[in-house]
Amino acid sequence: MDEHVHKAVSEGLRRRGVDVSTAQETGLLSASDEDHLKFATQQGRVIFTQDADFLRLHAAGLSHQGIVYVPQQTPIGSIVQCLMLIFDLLSPEDIVNHVEFL
């Protein structure tokens, strides 16, 4: 989870059995978006973000394990529901170097 994502999203996913890592937990608060993407790629993790800067990194051709983007002001319940759908339907290989928009 990017640092701007509300903690209720992580908590909702964890209650549903999803292994979630947050910027706060990994010591990446205030790190650059490039550092977030690099860390997630090294860990084999998809980035969930509400920060459009990650879309620019993708467009610039930076390799990643996947980015899931949702606009600000999207209700938390909707975010969790959509993320669970992605978790249930897509394999890790399906999302490598791909952006999924919610």
What are the tens digits of pLDDT across the range 34-59?
Answer: 999 999 999 999 999 999 999 999 99
- Residue 56 in any domain: the answer is yes
- Residue 2 in any domain: the answer is no
> Which pLDDT belongs to residue 36?
94
> Which pLDDT belongs to residue 23?
93
Instruction: Please give the sequence-ordered ranges of beta strands (E in DSSP) within the chain, or none if there are none.
Output: 47-49, 67-69, 99-101
- Residue 69 in any domain: the answer is yes
- Residue 40 in any domain: the answer is yes
Domain count, the chain: 1
Cα 100 to Cα 29, 76, 97: the distances in Å are 24, 17, 10
- Residue 61 in any domain: the answer is yes
Whole-number mean pLDDT of the chain?
A: 95
At residue 4 the predicted structure's pLDDT band, cuts being 50, 70 and 90, is confident
- Residue 38 in any domain: the answer is yes
- Residue 1 in any domain: the answer is no
Average pLDDT (67-84) is 96
Q: Record the pTM.
A: 0.93
Domain limits at 39? Answer: 7-101
